[in-house]
Amino acid sequence: MTYKESKDILETIIKAKKILINCHRRPDPDSVSSAIALYSVLKKLGKEVQMISPYPIPEVVGFLPFSEEIKVIHYKEFNFLDYDLFLILDSPSWDFVTGDKTSIPPKGIYKIQIDHHEPREKFTDISLIDPQVSSCSEVLYQIFRDWEFEIDKSTATALLSGIIGDTLCFKIPLTTDRTLETAATLIKAGADRQFITDQLFARMPISLVRFIGEVLYRLKFEKDLSFLWSAIPVDVFDNCGRPEAAKNQTANMFFGSTREGDFGILMVEEEKNKLMVSFRSAGRFNTEKIARELGGGGHRDSSAAVIEGLQFDQAVEKVLTTAREIVKNEKKYH
């Protein structure tokens, strides 16, 4: 058995009658894929299950089976007491679940956390967290093996989509031999790797192409500190057509893979005085240190933060000042 918690989680699920599964704020392919994979397994166990999300599901994952079953909700208005178990995936903190820092975890419902991020707070009754794994989908695959559950084609497709999405087609350092073995097993179970890769990475709308052009036009490189950055104000983002998932897709393409820079920062003002920040590296710098200092989090090579309540220039300067200070300290002690 890979995880000692797997048995307790299964026993809790079997006892439950009505179950919730989340997609986290601004859901990415791993968030949606892991929710769908778990949903498909629980439905086969005869459970009444509802997937929920605080944001609409990106079109890029619309090809996944059961994606139309995900319900967009407002967490402060949702009646959790209609359910007796909440399975919380791919989320290191409650605000990561809801996208609302003022929201608090609901009482009266048993909560189980399954994740691969470094934990930021304790907010569930059971937590299964493996930060050494590529994705929440890979964690779920190991749990399903612990349960001795036979994975069908639709579940395999969802799991492989999450793994491919979070590893950027197996590029990140957390891609291990076990990750590749898992992917091979899922392909044998019927998942189409080429189709998934094409859906997630090879079909860019024109609005995204325009956005990428603006990002590259504004690109700056801080040679002494070995990082690059670009910042997009809200009016430019609007003029590009506000492409869906633009920040993550662009950051994944360019900001962790330049030869000269140790890491990159992409900042997008998606709303007035609300700056979304993405950090990427390729094993050369721990970006999570910067994200955490700014109130965010994530992984060494992929992390994020949100700066609210500051004008665009002020928010950008706050991010850059924090990054510069942390990089200088790192260089000082190495």
177-223 residue pLDDT tens: 999 999 999 999 999 999 999 999 887 889 999 999 999 999 999 99
Which region among 171-185, 243-257, 312-326 has the lowest average model confidence (pLDDT)?
243-257
| Residue 264 confidence (pLDDT) | 94
Of 34-48, 101-115, 127-141, 243-257, the one with minimum mean pLDDT is 243-257
Question: Domain holding 256: CATH number?
Answer: 3.10.310.30
Tell whether 166 and 265 lie within a shared domain. no
Q: How confident is the model at residue 256 (pLDDT cuts 50, 70, 90)?
A: confident
Q: What is the pLDDT of residues 129-144, one digit of tens each?
A: 999 999 999 999 999 9
Same-domain pairing of 57 and 98: yes
Do residues 197 and 221 both lie within one domain? no
Residue 48: what pLDDT?
97
Residues 65, 88, single domain; the answer is: yes
Domain count, the chain: 2
On whether both 44 and 92 belong to a single domain, the answer is: yes
pTM of this prediction?
0.86
Beta strands in the chain (DSSP E): 18-22, 48-53, 70-72, 85-89, 110-115, 126-129, 220-222, 227-232, 263-271, 274-281, 297-298, 302-308
Question: Are 277 and 296 contained in the same domain?
Answer: yes
8 by DSSP, 3-state: which? helix
CATH of the domain at 85: 3.90.1640.10
Q: Which domain holds residue 85?
A: 5-201
Give the H or E element holding residue 18: strand 18-22
Stretch 32-51: mean pLDDT, rounded?
97
Residue 32 is predicted with a pLDDT of 98
Contact 295, 306 (CB under 8 A): yes
Same domain flag for 86 and 219? no
What is the residue-averaged pLDDT of the chain? 93
Question: Is the pLDDT assigned to residue 237 strictly greater than 80?
Answer: yes
Is residue 189 located within the same domain as residue 254? Answer: no
Domain termination residue (choose one: 148, 176, 201): 201
